[in-house]
Chain A
Amino acid sequence: MEQLINDLKLQIKEALNLEELTVEDFDENAPLFGEDGIGLDSIDILELIVLLEKQYGIRLSNPKEGKAIFQSVKTIAEYVQANRKK
């Protein structure tokens, strides 16, 4: 799980071009959306959906499904572990 969380942090940082966020500072429990957390938005949800498909073979067809999954790096990791195809 720890390895997966670390991989995800790197992949998210790269996909969303979060240049100034280091993996050490990237708290897996921090909310990804909203002003209190990383501050991602609806376009980022779409990028994260692409990321899940590319890296883990998980296909989400409705961005609304993404809301619950993409709360934090931790929730993404849990979802990936349960649903990954590769």
Chain B
Amino acid sequence: MEGIAITGYGIVCAIGNDASSVLRSLRAKRTGIGSMRYLQSCHRELPVGEVKLSNGEMKRMLGMDDAAIISRTVLMGAIAIRQAMNHANLSIKGKRVVVISGTTVGGMDITERYFLRMQEDDTLLPLIEKHDCGSSTREMADLAGLKEAEVCAISTACSSAANAIIVGSEMLQNDEADIVIAGGTEALSRFHLSGFNSLMILDRECCRPFDKKRAGLNLGEGAAYVVLQKRLSGELFVRGYANRCDAFHQTASSENGEGAFLAMSEALQMAGLKPQNIQYINAHGTGTPNNDSSESAAIRRIFGEHIPLVSSTKGFTGHTTSASGSIETVISLLALQNDFVPASLGCQEQDDACIAPTQSVDTISLENILCNSFGFGGNDSALVISKTPAPLRVDRKYKEAEAKVLAEETITDIDQLKDYREFISAGESRRMGRLMKAATITSLKALRKAGIERPDAIITATAYGMLETSEKFLIDMLENGEDTLSPTLFMQSTHNTLSSAIAIRTKCHGYNVTYSQGTHSFAWALRDARRLIESGKVKTVLVGCHDEATPTFQDFFRRQGKPVPPTLYSKSIVLGCITS
């Protein structure tokens, strides 16, 4: 049987600009977290995990003109993809190549620099094309020499890159591609940093995952990609994976780590492994009091008294958010190939509420590693990577079936939100922008029409996410500074906040992924939903397509003579199977 082989990888992060330098830093226990050098933020007191390259240096590495205006997210991503392709010694001629990439804020570093000037200066308007997750992913693939490749951005906050690897593996299994390049990229931006700061989850010192005195995370940046191909033999394999939703809160994890528990359990089951077959867990371990205790609870539920070696490598790289899933996958691959376990930097005092992380093991025989990535909205993913090519086993709950549309609901006008109180209480509505309200209403109406209380999975498409709240946050930051910003607005800037809200509402712990590939987002979401149903994994999927536009944003398009995006659009479809 063939397995999903990892035939190459590339990485750029705070501890190195390629895999061999990352390996050296891990071995030497050398952190990459330190004072801000490239980011122009007023929060200079905050330690960050910056990539040690200027944008100019990266442009030169890619053979680009220094004057080109291009997102740091795109630059790092293109470099890591090129590394991965070289490492795999890839020949793409005549092959179906797909690039799947995780990102949360896309080209926000460009938008935050030019947004105010774009309101007056027409020559800057084309920069709006660099803002969204989808266009920045397309630009990055093109720069890496993959103009012919299919491209797709996944935006599920800090689990984005892990989900890119999951979706890529599924596409290979389903014979939709010959080569998948999957991972994630995210640059530090003022938007991102001050958003996390508004949530008061940033440690003023170097982060201390699992330590009793841990006080939050340090933001990092970087990119990492793996090349995935179906192979009978090889050195490294994706052996199991799962994505589950905690369905608890937009920014906090449940006390018993339900979503994490479900994701890890199912990934092990798919890999055909027992807990004792795992020698090392690369934990999500952000350093926030909440994540580390919740993740520890989930690990204890699975491994009981026999917990394998665990470390969080965020003490090296910082929390690289959307890229963390693939950065930590590549770190795990380096551990697997070189038979060592990286240290969990920063943990000095054991917390009874947490597992005890390892201080590193220089020589050990590793076979299977579990790698965790959790994101806002309780978006929890786990990957099992392995030296052995086990057949990918899928828990086939249902017979192969054809996916059919069971119900559909659409909102295209703000007036249609008038009767929201039928679905949304006053308490709930106070933190909901109009797009969130619309998405909730169309979702609940479609489910009701289909006679389903809770779908098995929720898949969402959005090109720009909750633009109204993101724009408010951005303008407040640009006009009034980075200090007193609203956490409520920031929370809603992550694209999967819509999908998570519906999961929380319907208590749906199932697969929960958000696609953000411009006008192709909905097609990607439907494709995933059909694949999920037709592979027999689930019976019903709620698929949503939700977008909004603000007057300022619409004006950017109008002034360019381009089609103006609609003020509000929300469509929800319930897909279900008719068993054959």
Hey, which bits of chain A sit against chain B, CB under 8 A?
15-20, 39, 42-43, 46-47, 49-50, 53-54, 62-63
Contact = CB atoms under 8 A, between A and B. Distances in A.
A20 B251 CA distance: 25
A49 B487 CA distance: 10
B153 interface: no
B139 to A, nearest CB: 34
Contacts of A15: 486
A63 B251 contact: no
A14 B484 CA distance: 15
A20 B200 CA distance: 28
The interface size bin for chain B is 10 to 19
B365 interface: no
B449 to A, nearest CB: 29
**A contact patch SS:** helix
A53 B485 CA distance: 10
Contact of B198 (A17, A39, A50): A50
What are the 3 closest A-B residue pairs judged by CB atoms, nearest first?
A17-B430, A46-B487, A20-B426
Nearest to B199: A46
B200 A50 contact: no
Nearest to B483: A53
A50 B426 contact: no
A40 to B, nearest CB: 10
Given A17-B431, A46-B487, A63 B200 contact: yes
Contacts of A17: 430-431
A42 B491 CA distance: 13
Contacts of B62: none
23 contacts: A17-B430, A17-B431, A18-B430, A19-B429, A19-B430, A20-B426, A39-B427, A42-B252, A43-B251, A43-B431, A43-B487, A43-B488, A46-B199, A46-B200, A46-B487, A47-B486, A47-B487, A49-B200, A50-B484, A50-B486, A53-B483, A53-B484, A62-B200
A62 B426 CA distance: 29
Contacts of B486: 15, 47, 50
Nearest to B430: A17
A16 B430 contact: yes
Contacts of A53: 483-484
A1 B430 CA distance: 28
A86 to B, nearest CB: 13
Given A43-B487, A50-B198, 5 more contacts: A20-B426, A39-B427, A43-B250, A50-B484, A50-B487
Given A50-B484, A50-B485, A43 B491 contact: yes
Interface string B484-496: 1111100100000
Contacts of B429: 19
Contacts of B485: 50
A16 B252 CA distance: 19
Contacts of A20: 426
A39 to B, nearest CB: 6
Nearest to B426: A20
Contacts of B430: 16-19
B488 A47 contact: yes
A85 to B, nearest CB: 13
A5 to B, nearest CB: 22
A15 B484 CA distance: 12
A46 B198 contact: yes
A15 B199 CA distance: 15
A56 to B, nearest CB: 11
Nearest to A18: B430
Contacts of A54: 484
Contacts of B488: 43, 47
Contacts of A49: 200
Contacts of A18: 430
Nearest to B427: A39
A30 to B, nearest CB: 15
Contacts of B252: 42
A46 B198 CA distance: 7
Q: Which of B252, B429, B484 has the most CB of A within 10 A?
A: B484
Interface string B334-375: 000000000000000000000000000000000000000000
B204 to A, nearest CB: 8
Interface string B419-443: 0000000110111000000000000
B480 to A, nearest CB: 9
A20 B429 CA distance: 11
A15 B198 CA distance: 14
Nearest to B251: A43
A19 B426 contact: yes
Contacts of A63: 200
A64 to B, nearest CB: 10
Interface in B294-350: none
Contacts of A39: 427
B246 to A, nearest CB: 16
Contacts of B484: 50, 53-54
Contacts of A50: 198, 484-487
A55 to B, nearest CB: 10
Contacts of B487: 43, 46-47, 50
A60 to B, nearest CB: 9
A49 B483 CA distance: 11
B559 to A, nearest CB: 32
B494 to A, nearest CB: 14
A43 B426 CA distance: 17
A17 B429 CA distance: 9
A74 to B, nearest CB: 22
A16 B198 CA distance: 15
A2 B484 CA distance: 26
A69 B488 CA distance: 20
A21 B484 CA distance: 25
Interface string B385-413: 00000000000000000000000000000
B435 to A, nearest CB: 16
